Structure 1
Amino acid sequence: MAYLDTPLEQSGNVRVIYLEYADAIATAEVLTRVMQNISRLEEGGSNKRAGSGESTIEADEGTNSLIITADTDEMAALEAVIARLDIRRAQVLIEAIIVEMTITEGQDLGLQWLFANDNGVYGSNITTDQARRASLGQLGDALVPDDGSENIGTREVAASLATIPERRSAGVWWMNP
């Protein structure tokens, strides 16, 4: 019964390591470079082990796992490096509120005017939406008499400044990716 409760060791030099947080493809590239650097260091030294340089590291994208073929010492070193690389990454929660404003009727600022002189009555409405040169021309005709004198010959002046407030509608969407 005590035998059944003990974990079995993986036999041979091949081991599959499932990653929880790290990407298998990126981790395999890093570990391959680490093993190449270790092999170069051992080639320069006098304590070269038999079988070194035969290690392979493959990534399985479907299961996010690494398939490592290495001798026992290299396997232990790689497992220690993997344990340090396969850590939970810092995460940032992004929340946004998106507001859309639509104007159904724009603000209407305007001047309604009426002048009366000996030649007749002149009037118009000048608004921000409909400002026209003809309206301004009529204003000039009403203020300046036909004889070219500099005296303004108006008998009555009536004007009103109109302001119509805007009507707005707002839609708010909540986005939490």
Structure 2
Amino acid sequence: MRRRAARDQQRLDSGAVSSPKDLENLQHEIASLAKRQGDLEDIVLEVMERRESAQQRVAELTERVASVQSRIDDVTARRDSALEEIDGEAASVTKEREVVAASVPADLLKLYEKLREQQGGIGAAKLQARTCQGCRQELAITELNEIRQAAPDAVVRCENCRRILVRTAESGL
């Protein structure tokens, strides 16, 4: 467009065009090309500003992504560490359980496993302050009297949830 405007201006300045109508058309075309060039330059400037703004936004978002990824990496590392700790603790507890289970009579262990399966993983519950910690129900006075009179090694069960009750000093007997 610039070359065309320069060429037209050169033709106008050279005097090669003698017809007034052609001169007027040539001047009009030069003015039109200058206006079009100005419009295109404005568009280019606007595009450059938008590009710069977009580049800044990309840089901000890239920084945010890096920050979020850093947090994800940190949380993932903490999760993995916690899982390792839980796995180690589970292995330790499993070994302890095996040792304790070996000392429990087979029929009691069988009853416990059956109750555990029926009761969502809890086959025995602590009797604390006259309340079964399995179902959170306070035992009736008659039940408590029966438990008091039972032998220390007798297996007693909750009348409400049927779990094995573990008696301690906190049982309220």
Q: Which has the larger radius of gyration?
A: 2
TM over 0.5: same fold?
Answer: no
TM-score by length of 1: 0.29
Higher RCO (Cα < 8 Å, 6 or more apart): 1
TM-score by length of 2: 0.29
